[in-house]
Amino acid sequence: MKDEPRIGVFVCHCGTNIGGYVDVPSVVEYARTLVGVVHAERNTYTCADDGLTAIKKAIKDHNLNRVIVASCTPRTHAPLFRSAVADAGLNPYLFELVNIREHCSWVHMKEKEAATQKAKDLIRMGVARTALLEPQEEIRISVTPSALVIGGGIAGMTAALSIANQGFKVDIVEKDSEMGGMLRYLNDLYPGGRKASLVMDEFIGKVKNHPKIEVHTSSTIKKVDGYIGNFTVSVQNEKVPLDIKTGIIVVATGADEFKPVNLYGYSGSGNVLTELELEERLKNGSLQKLDSAIFIQCVGSRGEGRSYCSRICCNVAIKNSKLLKQTFPEADINILHNGIHAYGTYEKMYREAQELGVGFRKYSKEKPPEVTVDGERMRVKLYHELMGREIEYTPDIIVLSTPLIPHPENGDLSRMLKVPLGQDGFFLEAHVKLRPVDFATDGIFLCGSARAPADIIESINQGYSAASRAAIPLMNGYVQAEAITAVVDETKCIGCGYCASICPYRAASMNEKTVVAEEVSYITRKSYINPALCKGCGTCAAGCPAGAITPNHFTLPQIMATIKAFQQPGAYIYDRIKA
Amino acid sequence: MKSVLVIGGGIAGIQSSLDLANRGYHIYLVEREPSIGGHMALLDKTFPTNDCSMCILAPKMNECNAHPNIDILSYSEVMDLSGNAGDFTARVQRKARYINEEKCTGCGDCTAKCPSKVPNEYNGNLDKRKSIFLPYPQAVPRVMTIDREHCIYLTKGKCGNCKKVCNAGAVDYEQKDTFVDLNVAAVIVATGFDMFDPTHMQEYGYGKYANVITAMEYERMICASGPTGGHLETAPDKEHPGKIAFIQCVGSRDLQHNPYCCSVCCMHAIKESILAREHYEDIKPYIFYTDLRAVGKGFEEYAVRGEKEYGIKYIRGRPGQITEDASTKTLTVWYDDTVNRKVKGLEVDMAVLCTSLIPAKGSDKLAAILDIELDEYGLYKSRDELTAPLDTRRPGVFIAGYCQSPKDIPESVAQGSGAAARATEVAGGAYI
Ligand SMILES: Cc1cc2nc3c(=O)[nH]c(=O)nc-3n(C[C@H](O)[C@H](O)[C@H](O)COP(=O)(O)OP(=O)(O)OC[C@H]3O[C@@H](n4cnc5c(N)ncnc54)[C@H](O)[C@@H]3O)c2cc1C
Ligand code: SF4
Ligand code: SF4
């Protein structure tokens, strides 16, 4: 580093989020005393337009070459401040965010003085580190202009059609012999009651006729290599294995219906059915006339073991109960439930079912219904919470509304793609609120029931959504890669290969190198870290026995300076530590 | 560069704009309020992660503002749309805000000197704002607006303080509404919702009893940057409540008002109860529900956690009435205890009405302008409710977010992106 640090510190009140607990003016005063700091100010919201303008202005006015914002989490706000810094002509990596909200004011709301002191400590540490920051360069990665969609259900077909309509080639990899997914087994669809087969055929027709879409049925994913813009996916097909090069990947693998073996008399045969089995009977016309039917909701969900609500089953039961009632108007049809989750405009379907005469009977979680099956005779006992007594039914069929559950092979797929699953076994998106169809890994997206139970409309919405997110790198033709990566010092690397074995993103690999010495030449192994894949996590640097790896932007001197500053409260004197 | 018009700058419209701008389209983002952000900007935290709403939204609002491909036309409305998919002309009315947007720095000197105070609709009318104002500190764009209904100069020709103090010379009392014509390839409508006004439902005493408030007002009150700095205030002594009742489905799932279920109120009541407990350990929250609809990813778990860790008491039943003790201002919520089949009264210090989210004001007018249909509830109607949820009957005009059907933030984001994909398909001419 050649230039003397000229650091500007911007302390954010975050309304009262920080300002209510930390004495911001005194923190600013303190920051001014730190060596290397030439300007310090406070802002109500540094992230607001005027805050960003203030940063840019101060960079010009005070000739700043380093900037610190002391505010909230870098997860949400670092990109914003970095781009403000870049707008003013500084390298965006000459910026540091010191978190005095999550790490300070929010956790010390009842200790204002201590919070203020801690904010000062954090800023002092930030200043020490910032003085040693170096500019980093972002690299552009070119993007193969095509997409690969895993799963040919309604979500995957929608995503594929939309990406293709936006102008890109799409490969669909479907493990079954036909596309359609869950739709292949369904009877009529809510809302509206259209035949599933009609909807499915319409979509499959469009997909098959689309000049930009190629479908690989009876095919599974065997291996995924590469990174955003440049994936190579090995696909195993009945005939020949195939390597597909693609720019992005969409996961649309759907989910399975839970089979409730040993619950409520279910054995897989007889007249205790799951909703899917009822749909099959309705579809192929094998359902016999009946006088009475019982639906039981939340079988295997919202309880021990599987805690989530499967979202769609109340609506499915309402749809099917209406259908049974319309087919057999005399029949006694009752839905035993623990709250009917007919959210949104599905409320209408719920009301229609009630008007048709379908009974809705609430049970309590503590006393679920009891089913006894004795040959042909089935008995259901319900403790009716609202009437305060037991009711007994002797239905002809019992339909169990079971949840959608993650595919058993999700684990394998998640490992190959290097994307996470949630605790419930479904694929986990990058941000629950604002990035519902992105994975944290760039270039991979998800939609439909692979993410969480979803109905047709929701799967279609998400299919389009994934198509939109995916089309951004495809249309731009390039992506900007992470600038904070790890670099290998080949003179120190002893070729042990430990980094390659521990890198969670598979960015580190071993290359053979020929070394020519005076008399002899020999071959040795040296670590190579692919900057397009590296996320800068630092695992390799921590693991390397020879100390040959340095993560840019988190160098040893930078980290040591931070720690030293922590140990020297009061008048910390900036001293440059040589590596 | 092809252009797309996005109408409504809530989270859905913001997502559409960013997705399109990031792939090289030019966006006109038309928002009728002075700032983009929509309802999410007014929420405190968001379920089920309790992320601070403004903290995750503000970066997106700023990204829109800073994006070279996005023009934000705030305080504006679409008046006409002619032409066809791929080649529309939209006429936009830019309402006079009596401020030169180019000159205003948003410093607030004028606001400090403005003598005219009016109820602050951005804080649930719980405090006052000035006649020259920013809706909230993180407003985007950060320029002032003069409220022509209340400004003393504009109504009576007196005052003029703001013009005198404005160093940037941004105040312009002579400004007139203007109209601009925009050529766009596609249109995305994301006008969201408005809140149902429960004043006429006399049984709950809203507007009559001081301690009956709506959920939206509660969101502002519990928010650290809201009118009370995050303090829950009850009449008469501004003490925080000991017991709070949340009343679900006020105006929704109700054939006399709004027949549909709003999809988000059960969840926001749980969130608001959890927040109450995080602010004051001694609060007892009660939620009076019809069905507790916690149907999204991680939602059921959130509801269970609310009960187990935060002591929320869930009571099934719709209260018939709320009464007030005029001297103490304490409320009694009268309900059918459906488990014990008795009418019971629960004394509480605050009642929060979780009111219905209804179609945005003026949706019928906008539907006529755009030549798209409304459904039986007044929300925009999809071309095919099952297979083409984002399309309308007019090719090239798409819908996203709450205005299409009741939904929460992640679903609004997903549709916002989805509509961007459809708009790209049309704009590229590959498919209409
Ligand atoms: C009390 C409450 C708490 C909530 N809590 C949560 C929560 O914790 N988590 C969650 O996920 N969801 C929550 N929600 C739901 C969430 O607010 C909505 O899902 C989301 O805001 C919908 O976004 P939107 O963009 O569709 O609509 P909006 O946010 O309503 O945005 C629509 C925008 O369009 C503008 N507009 C309207 N008409 C026009 C027109 N004619 N021309 C131009 N512009 C127009 C409006 O001014 C507005 O800016 C809550 C809702 C409420 C009421
Ligand atoms: S920093 Fe992380 S991602 Fe990069 S090579 Fe090292 S271990 Fe791999
Ligand atoms: S002219 Fe209007 S806006 Fe300006 S200070 Fe007076 S009342 Fe306020």
Same domain flag for A284 and A382? yes
C-alpha A287/C-alpha A397 separation (Å) is 10
Full-model pTM: 0.87
**pLDDT above 80: residue B105:** no
Within 8 A of B141 by CB-CB distance, chain A residues are 49
Return residues 146-175 of B near A (CB < 8 Å). none
CATH number at residue A99: 3.40.50
**pLDDT above 80: residue B19:** yes
Same domain flag for A522 and A475? no
Tokens 């998800």 locate to A446
Return residues 198-257 of B near A (CB < 8 Å). 224-225, 229-230, 253
pLDDT on residue A240: 85
For each of the domains in chain B, give its residue range(s) and CATH number, in order of start. 3-95+177-192+360-427 (3.50.50.60), 109-165 (no CATH), 196-356 (3.50.50.60)
pLDDT on residue A76: 67
In A403-542, the DSSP E strands lie at 404-405, 444-446, 478-480, 486-488, 508-516, 521-529
Reported as a single tens digit per residue, the pLDDT across A305-318 is: 899 999 999 999 99
Reported as a single tens digit per residue, the pLDDT across A368-383 is: 999 999 888 999 999 9
Q: How far does A98 lie from chain B, in Å, by closest CA?
A: 16
Cβ–Cβ gap A344/B261 under 8 Å: yes
Under DSSP, the state recorded for B326 is T
CB atoms < 10 A from the CB of A121, how many? Answer: 17
Question: Residues A531, A484: contact at Cβ < 8 Å?
Answer: no
Cβ–Cβ gap A432/B298 under 8 Å: yes
CA angle B303, B309, B310 (to 5 degrees): 80
pLDDT category of residue A578 using cuts at 50, 70 and 90: very low
In whole angstroms, how far apart are CA A477 and each of A51, A417, A469, A521, B22?
Answer: 33, 22, 14, 42, 12
CA of A538 to the centre of ligand 2 (A): 5
Q: Is residue A578 part of a domain?
A: no
The closest alpha carbon to A126, from A2, A239, A13, A36, belongs to A36
Q: How far does A576 lie from chain B, in Å, by closest CA?
A: 35
Q: Is the CB of B151 under 6 A from ligand 3?
A: yes
Q: Which of A404, A428, A451 is the last residue of a domain?
A: A404
Q: Which domain holds residue A32?
A: 7-136+559-572
Protein residue with least CA distance to atom 37, ligand 1: B191
CA of B162 to the centre of ligand 3 (A): 5
Same domain flag for A72 and A84? yes
* Average pLDDT value for chain B: 95
pLDDT category of residue B429 using cuts at 50, 70 and 90: confident
Reported as a single tens digit per residue, the pLDDT across A190-225 is: 999 999 999 999 999 999 999 999 999 999 999 999
Same domain flag for A98 and A19? yes
pLDDT category of residue B104 using cuts at 50, 70 and 90: confident
Same domain flag for A231 and A157? yes
pLDDT on residue A375: 82
Same domain flag for A249 and A159? yes
Q: Which of A439, A457, A479 is the last residue of a domain?
A: A479
**pLDDT above 70: residue A2:** no
What radius of gyration do chain A's Cα atoms show?
Answer: 30
Within 8 A of B229 by CB-CB distance, chain A residues are 16, 20
Same domain flag for A229 and A159? yes
Residue spans of alpha helices (H) in A357-409: none
Q: Which ligand is nearest to the CA of B133?
A: 3
What is the ipTM score, two decimals? 0.96
* Average pLDDT value for chain A: 93
Query: Identity (one letter) of the amino acid at B378?
Result: G
Same domain flag for A248 and A302? no
Torsion of CA A462, A467, A468, A471, to 10 degrees: 160
**Considering chain A, what percentage of its residues have pLDDT values greater than 90?**
80
pLDDT on residue B260: 97
Q: Is B428 on the interface with A (CB under 8 A)?
A: yes
Same domain flag for A293 and A397? yes
pLDDT on residue B335: 95
Q: Is residue A60 part of a domain?
A: yes
Reported as a single tens digit per residue, the pLDDT across A84-96 is: 999 999 999 999 9
Q: How far does A147 lie from chain B, in Å, by closest CA?
A: 15
Q: Which of A460, A479, A498 is the last residue of a domain?
A: A479
pLDDT category of residue A229 using cuts at 50, 70 and 90: very high
CB atoms < 10 A from the CB of A374, how many? Answer: 8
Cβ–Cβ gap B417/A79 under 8 Å: no
Q: How far does B368 lie from chain A, in Å, by closest CA?
A: 23
CA of B10 to the centre of ligand 3 (A): 29
pLDDT on residue B431: 52
- Assess whether the previous peptide bond of A74 is cis (omega < 30° from 0): no
**pLDDT above 80: residue B351:** yes
Q: Is residue A1 part of a domain?
A: no
Question: Residues A302, B286: contact at Cβ < 8 Å?
Answer: no
Q: Which ligand is nearest to the CA of B269?
A: 1
Same domain flag for A315 and A194? no
Cβ–Cβ gap B297/A426 under 8 Å: yes
Reported as a single tens digit per residue, the pLDDT across A528-549 is: 998 887 888 999 999 999 999 9
Structural domains in chain A (count): 4
Question: Residues B142, B134: contact at Cβ < 8 Å?
Answer: yes
SS3 state of residue A425? coil
CATH number at residue A383: 3.50.50.60
C-alpha A460/C-alpha B418 separation (Å) is 9
In whole angstroms, how far apart are CA A517 and each of A187, A429, A521, B9?
Answer: 75, 52, 6, 66
C-alpha B191/C-alpha B269 separation (Å) is 24
**pLDDT above 50: residue A577:** no
Output the DSSP codes for B280-303.
Answer: -TT-EEEEEESS----STTHHHHH
Same domain flag for A527 and A439? no
CA of B232 to the centre of ligand 1 (A): 23
Reported as a single tens digit per residue, the pLDDT across A238-259 is: 778 999 999 999 999 999 999 9
pLDDT on residue A569: 67
The closest alpha carbon to A157, from A475, A464, A474, A472, belongs to A464
* Better-scored residue on pLDDT, B342 or A553: A553
Mean pLDDT of B384-393: 97
Q: Which residues contact A164 (CB under 8 A, 6 or more apart)?
A: A170, A210, A212, A213
Mean pLDDT of B261-287: 97
Mean pLDDT of A383-407: 92
pLDDT on residue A574: 47
For residue A226, what are its two tokens? 């590469």
In whole angstroms, how far apart are CA A117 and each of A15, A29, A30, A100, A121?
Answer: 19, 12, 10, 11, 6
pLDDT category of residue B430 using cuts at 50, 70 and 90: low
The closest alpha carbon to A294, from A367, A404, A378, A368, belongs to A378
| Phi and psi at residue A374, to the nearest 5° | -130, 90
Tokens 């303190």 locate to A30
Mean pLDDT of B193-215: 97
Same domain flag for A537 and A565? no
C-alpha A257/C-alpha A340 separation (Å) is 19
**pLDDT above 50: residue A341:** yes
Mutate to test the pocket of ligand 3, among B97, B99, B114, B165 (most ligand atoms within 8 A of CB): B114
